[in-house]
A and B are shown apart, each in its own frame.
Chain A
């Protein structure tokens, strides 16, 4: 075996070890409960779709629907707010661009736990507890700083000549924005949306503290399968697969955008 082959083998082995827990989760989701919690672990069994059937016939629907609503609405709201803001911090920059950028990023350093109590109290007073709208607002605030940084990095890549040409044509701001800028940064908008979707879909802390029967999301459903009537490992695994699937697929297909988004636009 050459050195190159050895390195390749090592890489594959490590990758498979890293992936093994995921593979095990998927495998368990196709087991009967008796096979799922067996000792020693059962690798060969008769696969069944019972767990998935159970979930589809259970009360999981509203949880997943809430996740879809909170994720889609907050992502849309983030983009509506972030695109103009990023424009004002890149193409036609305000004077204190650096300060504004620093302010936005500093809010990401604020531990959520430090603000959960006032948010809980305020939401209670305005009767917004257990309301999906509250999650939409909070997920928007959570993702907005990242989105502004990301969108800014895409605006900065628009060549100056393009903007000058548009301004010589006498195109209005809105028109320039719509016909020149937005088409050019549309890959950036997609990448930004991807990151917002990942963080909103996976969010647990706000959902745990601010929702109950009406607005609870998919992560809460996962947790409830563990605590309600004892542990059903196979069903929990199937629910985990379903809850993780949208983000896993999105991340797989958009690996490049993932890097840029995770680094808030700093790494291309």
Chain B
């Protein structure tokens, strides 16, 4: 196979022609290796990078589908406008709140469930199957299930449940829209966290755990100093993937609150969608898109750093 190419080092005493031929062969080999990658690479570039470049282009122009004649280059004024837009700021805040609220709560619940499932007991397979189901339900169905069957003020299950203990009915999606959305999202994403962390727990070497308990470590100490460091990679991965997926949340907001009341529960994807498809303001929605991309990258990086720097600091203190 092509691994032989790596052994053809430049040997002394070759004529320029031979060196040339070697270089040509190396280049040809390079292209032979790249060839299988090319279709996928080109496909992804066309489908993601070209639209994104166009988004950047749109973001510097005043373009409104309702006024096609008025298009012109406006530089960064769309960006200036959106930072003065208080709805954009509140949508950005909601994005952060929903993303972190969901990821952190789902991670903690998922960790708890993974620990509970990492033992032998009757019906373990059934329990795991029940627990992963919320993640497999079509998100559109899950969002409507929560907004209607669960949170509906007059016949929803939640109000009936709290009514049993004497709490008066609450109009969840109107009074606590962001909270309601986070609840539905946590329900959907906890199984995801649980699955990753459970895989992490089960990849632990049993003899290490046994050695810890032989050395007189308590259950908590074993968890704290053996299991948790081992889980770190899995938690990082779960948080990173969770943030990437949850920051894009659209289905739940569109179907549960439509960003309302007013714009109280709109996150960035929903607000950008509103501006683009209901307001037809291409320039501004594109500028918001660009800002969202930058913010997503920052959030993904910060999410990793914040959580694990603090965890490390605690471990060392």
Contacts and interface: CB of A to CB of B under 8 A. Distances in A.
Interface of A: 4, 7-8, 10-12, 14-16, 18-19, 21-22, 24-25, 28, 37-41, 81-82, 84-85, 87-89, 91-95, 100, 103-104, 107-122, 137-138, 140-141, 144-145, 148, 163-164, 166-167, 176, 198, 201-202, 204-205, 208-209, 218-219, 222-223, 226, 231, 233, 236-237, 239-240, 243-244, 247-248, 250-252, 255, 258-259, 262-264, 266-268
Contacts of B214: none
Nearest to B149: A24
Given A114-B290, A237-B149, A252 B241 contact: no
A247 B138 contact: yes
A87 B37 CA distance: 8
A85 to B, nearest CB: 4
Given A18-B187, A111-B296, A8 B121 contact: yes
B1 A88 contact: no
Nearest to A87: B36
A233 B149 contact: yes
Contact of A21 (B55, B136, B145): B145
A21 B48 contact: no
A18 B190 contact: yes
A115 B289 contact: yes
* Most B CB within 10 A of own CB, among A18, A84, A264: A18
A104 B44 contact: yes
Given A21-B187, A267-B203, 17 more contacts: A7-B121, A21-B150, A24-B157, A37-B152, A110-B296, A111-B248, A111-B292, A111-B293, A113-B250, A113-B269, A113-B273, A115-B51, A141-B44, A204-B250, A237-B145, A252-B136, A259-B195
A161 to B, nearest CB: 12
A259 B146 contact: no
Contact of A84 (B39, B144, B248): B39
A84 B40 contact: yes
Given A198-B136, A209-B277, A252 B129 contact: yes
A201 B138 contact: yes
A259 B199 contact: yes
Nearest to B39: A81
B16 interface: no
Given A81-B43, A209-B277, A111 B129 contact: no
B41 A100 contact: yes
Nearest to A248: B136
Interface residues of B, number: 94
* Most A CB within 10 A of own CB, among B50, B116, B117: B116
Given A110-B52, A113-B272, A258-B132, A92 B33 contact: yes
B30 interface: yes
B311 to A, nearest CB: 19
Nearest to B35: A88
Contact of B40 (A138, A144, A202): A144
Contacts of A19: 130-131, 133-134
A202 B48 CA distance: 20
A15 B43 contact: no
Contact of B289 (A7, A89, A111): A111
A219 B138 contact: yes
30 contacts: A4-B119, A12-B123, A16-B130, A19-B134, A39-B160, A84-B37, A85-B39, A88-B33, A103-B41, A104-B44, A108-B244, A110-B48, A113-B269, A113-B289, A115-B54, A120-B277, A208-B254, A223-B140, A223-B144, A226-B148, A226-B255, A237-B145, A240-B144, A243-B140, A247-B136, A252-B129, A255-B128, A255-B129, A262-B241, A263-B237
A82 B40 contact: yes
A222 B134 contact: no
Nearest to A14: B113
Nearest to B46: A141
Contact of A39 (B34, B133, B155, B286): B155
Interface in B66-98: none
A140 B267 CA distance: 26
A78 B112 CA distance: 36
A117 B251 CA distance: 18
A175 to B, nearest CB: 12
